[in-house]
Amino acid sequence: MEEEDEILDEFLVECSESLEHLDQEFVALEEDPGNADLLGSIFRAVHTIKGTCGFLGLPKLENVAHGTENILSVMRDREMRVTSDGITILLEAVDVIKEILAHIETERKEPETDYSPMRQKLDAFLESGSSASESKPITDEEALRVDAIMKDLEADALLNKAPEKTRTEAEEAASETAISEGNKDSKKTEARADEEATVSPVQNEKPVSGNENIDKKKPALAESAIRVDVHLLDQLINLVGELVLARNQLLQQARDQDGTSSTKAKSGTVQQINLITTELQDTVMKTRMQPIKNVWDKFPRMIRDLAHANGKSVDLVMKGAETELDKTLLEAIKDPMTHIIRNAVDHGIESADIRREQGKNEKGTLFLKAFHEGGRIVIQISDDGAGIDIERVKIKAIEKELITQALADRMSEREALHLIFHPGLSTAKQVTHVSGRGVGMDVVKTNIEKIGGTVSMSSRLGEGTEMRIEIPLTLAIIPALMVVSGGAPFAIPQASLIELVLVNEECRQQIEVIRGAHFYRLRGVLLPLIYLNEVLGLTEQASRAGALHDIGINIVVLKVNEHSFGLVVDFVNDSEEIVVKPVNRQLRSLAYLAGATILGDGCVALILDVMGVAEEGSLLGGGAHETAMSLEEASVVETEEKTAAFVLFSMNGEDRYAVSLSEITRLEEFLPDRVEHSSGQEVIQYRDDLLPLIHIENALNIDMSGLEVSEHVSVIVCTRNQKSVGMVVGKIMDIVNVPLHLHHPSGSTPGIRGSIVIQEKSTDLLDVDQVISCVIPEWMEETFV
């Protein structure tokens, strides 16, 4: 019984492998109906499934597979043409086969459903097809290829005569070769076809030369690859992790004892062990790595079906399919990617008619690109479709009360675009059966963030959309910041880390208290503070008072869901690559705990779940994050009680103006000779770009005659929508924190919000955007370039 189960399992694994390839091979065949090799490969796969299920006693599966094989066989014999209809019906049959296999996998038996209609459909098609089509003359070259396949099949037939038990094994080998052949070939060709090649993957698979190619590869491949249980690999990785720890301790000991003669010889051995361990670690990690191709392979079929259903025509271009990443990660990005691609085909790419009207190529193109960047894997999914109408996103978001009109007006293009990730927002004009129900993008985002990745997007109306997914190389090892709080070590995943701030005694007053809640003024914005030791109820209460005296307060600025907060810890240590280990199931209910890791000295450190810590500190869910928002707004909008940071400057030496610190980007001083002219505009070379300089005195009606000639040009740099301008001012005087008591002017001057009293002198508060708009009217428009 057990043995039978084992055979069945093997059969299932083998089938799922060949079926994966079948889908794309069919799609490729549709593009290139004359490709005899492709047809042969498909035929072999189906033939193997049919043969094996006969042996295992799976009559329904055999029946459908047999019908499929019959059609393939006449197609192969050139008695029937490969048509789109034919492919569709064959794909349908493959789906049925998949369905049956899935049922067998869970229930260990065939489903009750009657599949004979499918068989009848296949047979009917075979009947109509073969009689209607005329056989096509076969060229010499093609004849040769077909010949090769026939030989191959003869070999198969020979194998079939072998005793039953060995037959499965032999067939398995044969089918494996059939599958891997594709892999090898595509790898070879990839080198050449890599650059921007239209990867309907199977196009890569064209053998270099027909005949010997197939025969030669068979033995080598069967011998060079084996199947290994993933759990075994996991165990191996664990053990290697242990070895690395032991190696580190050994190295430490060797260093401590250095100098004595007896250790000289030993240190050589230690070095050797060191090297071997490192290499072993690398190699073992590689065993879990798989090319992203494994996930991408299912997309050609999916896109074909989607495009067909919507009357669109879409080309898929894949680049970097050989990029490898951890198997678990690969699984994790599968669904998000599928969703994004569906969206792109369903909403992104327009129908052929509309594309023609807009002067685009009738065929839409979808690009998939994967590459390494800075220790992470970047996956780009872009289309040349309609793009996203940002205004419509905003309107929709306001309609659904996700944002206010005021907020919408102030939002940058990027911010508005990212509203797409908000749960419950869908801009699809029409809900289709595949996507557009308003769930989805938020799920994509959460799923990718779960594995320590990020998603971002950019879009141009009418030109297309690009999604960018960044994920770590492997899940098991993540970079983390090591901190100490209440005497215990903690690891904070680097992904949510924004910056580190050390507040020393002098700046103590920058920490504000409102009803027991602490805030830190970080560049004019109030940052809510959470004391880690208090949140976790750690016994050592030293940090708030004690640590302050010696070294100040360590604030780790973290970001969750667009909201920042400061986590106060006792000490900040190095950033380290840590191995994430699971904790007992019973501890998983602790929101702040993401897992645990083993430090170099063998101790266990807890890994913090940043979102959980924020929840424990009642930052999220409650009113806290709203406060963070409204406080930020308070520094801009006129409120009575709050204080805000202002930059004080003068234009002609006599007058005083202020701008809110949160509205500007930087303060700069340039030498006058650096000012250049470009198309009638004063510009300055600034951070590898040209910064346009504007003069605001005319807009504000300021008499500049009293200005002393200074040796520097003082400039206030403002950035909106990723574009910057520099406002030339007379002299920058100070940065102050004052209560925002705004006196509204009687006769309002454009560009002036009102006056405030700063340092006992009346000061005009500038409305930066309005002032700049006076000089550059298109300043606030998003199209401003």
Partner 1 sequence: MNEEEMLARGKERRAENPEPSLETDRRVSISDRRFENNRQYATFYLDDHFLGIEIEQVQEVFLSKEMTSVPKSPASVAGLINLRGQIIMSIDLRKRLGFKENSTGEAPMSIVVRTSDGPVNLLVDQIGDVIRVRPDLFELPPKTLEQQLGMAIEGVYKLEGKLLLALNTECAVQVA
Q: At its nearest, how many Å lie between partner 1 and the CB of residue 484?
A: 12
* Smallest distance from partner 1 to CB 249, Å: 12
Closest Cα partner for 728 from 700, 750, 749, 754? 700
Residue with tokens 């060949």: 18
DSSP secondary structure string, 585-613?
A: GGGTT-TTEEEEEE-TTS-EEEEE-HHHH
Distance CA 261, CA 235 (A): 39
CB of 30 to partner 1, least distance (A): 50
Give CA angle at 730 (728, 731), nearest 5°. 110
CA distance 716 to 725: 8
Tell me which residue of 105, 116, 87 sits closest to 22, measured CA to CA.
87
Q: What three-state secondary structure class fits 696?
A: coil
Q: Residue 371 or residue 571: which is nearer to partner 1 going by CB?
A: 571
Shortest CB 444 distance to partner 1, Å: 31
CB of 170 to partner 1, least distance (A): 41
Instruction: State how far the Cα of 467 lies from the Cα of 385, in Å rounded to an integer.
Output: 13
Q: CA-CA distance, 727 to 717, in Å (whole number)?
A: 6
Burial of 88: CB neighbours in 10 Å, binned 0-12, 13-18, 19+: middle
Q: Which is nearer to partner 1, 406 or 603 (CB)?
A: 603
Smallest separation, CB 606 to partner 1 (Å): 7
CA distance 44 to 65: 12
- Output 178 or 596, the one with its CB closest to partner 1: 596
Nearer to partner 1, 467 or 606 (CB): 606
CA distance 785 to 779: 9
Tell me how far, at minimum, the Cβ of 250 lies from partner 1, in Å.
16
CA distance 561 to 401: 18
CB of 571 to partner 1, least distance (A): 16
Other C-beta atoms lying within 10 Å of the C-beta of residue 577: 11
Query: Which of residues 602 and 777 has its CB atom nearest to partner 1 in the complex?
Result: 602
The CA–CA distances, whole Å, from 307 to 174, 310, 398, 562, 604 equal 34, 5, 32, 35, 52
Give least dist CB 241 to partner 1, A: 6
Beta strand 464-472 pairing with 454-460: antiparallel
Give the nearest distance from C-beta 576 to partner 1 in angstroms.
Answer: 16
CB of 481 to partner 1, least distance (A): 18
Which CB atom, from 296 or from 490, has the smaller least distance to partner 1?
490
Closest CB 475 distance from partner 1, rounded Å:
16
CA-nearest of 183, 181, 161, 184 to 173 is 181
Contacts of 780 (CB under 8 A, 6+ apart): 720, 769, 773
Strand order in the sheet with 314-319: 314-319, 364-373, 376-383, 464-472, 454-460
Nearest approach in angstroms of CB 100 to partner 1 is 34
Residue 585 CB neighbours (<10 A):
7
> Which residues contribute to the site for partner 1 (CB under 8 A)?
238-239, 241-242, 245, 488-489, 536-538, 581-587, 589-590, 592-593, 596, 598, 602-606, 616
Of 64 and 613, the one with the shorter C-beta distance to partner 1 is 613
Q: Are 774 and 696 a contacting pair, CB within 8 Å?
A: yes
Pick between residue 493 and residue 524 the one whose CB is nearest to partner 1.
493
* Whole-angstrom distance, CA of residue 720 vs CA of residue 714: 20
- CB of 536 or CB of 716, closer to partner 1: 536
Q: What is the distance between the alpha carbons of residues 764 and 654, in angstroms, rounded to a whole number?
A: 12
CB 85 to partner 1: min, Å:
54
**100-104: long-range contacts, CB 8 A cutoff, minimum separation 24:** 100/58, 100/60, 100/61, 100/64, 101/12, 101/15, 101/16, 101/19, 101/61, 104/8, 104/12, 104/58, 104/61
Q: Which is nearer to partner 1, 238 or 287 (CB)?
A: 238
Q: Which is nearer to partner 1, 498 or 590 (CB)?
A: 590
Q: Mind spelling out the 3-state secondary structure of 437-478?
A: CCCCHHHHHHHHHHCCCEEEEEEECCCEEEEEEEEECCCCEE
Nearer residue to partner 1 within complex by CB, 460 or 588: 588
Q: How far is 621 from 553, CA to CA, in rounded Å?
A: 27
Q: 485 or 755, CB closer to partner 1?
A: 485
Q: Would you say 138 or 579 has its CB closer to partner 1? A: 579
Contact status, residue 410 vs residue 391, Cβ threshold 8 Å = no
Confirm if 472 and 452 have CB atoms less than 8 A apart: yes
Residue 25, helix vs strand vs coil: helix
C-beta of 358: minimal distance to partner 1 in Å?
A: 58
Q: Please tell me the distance from the alpha carbon of residue 724 to that of residue 561, in angstroms, as a whole number.
A: 27
Residue 328 beta carbon to partner 1: minimum distance, rounded to whole angstroms: 18
> Considering the complex, what minimum distance in angstroms separates the CB of residue 570 from partner 1?
14
Report the distance separating Cα 351 and Cα 330, nearest Å. Answer: 31
Closer by beta carbon to partner 1, 598 or else 742:
598
Closer by beta carbon to partner 1, 253 or else 358? 253
User: Please, which residue, 515 or 585, has the CB nearer to partner 1?
Assistant: 585
Is the separation of the CB atoms in 765 and 754 below 8 Å?
A: yes
User: Which parts of 380-440 fold into alpha helices (H)?
Assistant: 390-399, 405-410, 413-417
User: Shortest gap between Cβ of 594 and partner 1 (angstroms)?
Assistant: 13
Secondary structure of 539-574 as H, E, C letters: CCCHHHHHHHHHCCEEEEEEEECCEEEEEEECEEEE
Residue 543 vs 714, nearer CB to partner 1: 543
User: Greatest CA separation found in the chain?
Assistant: 106
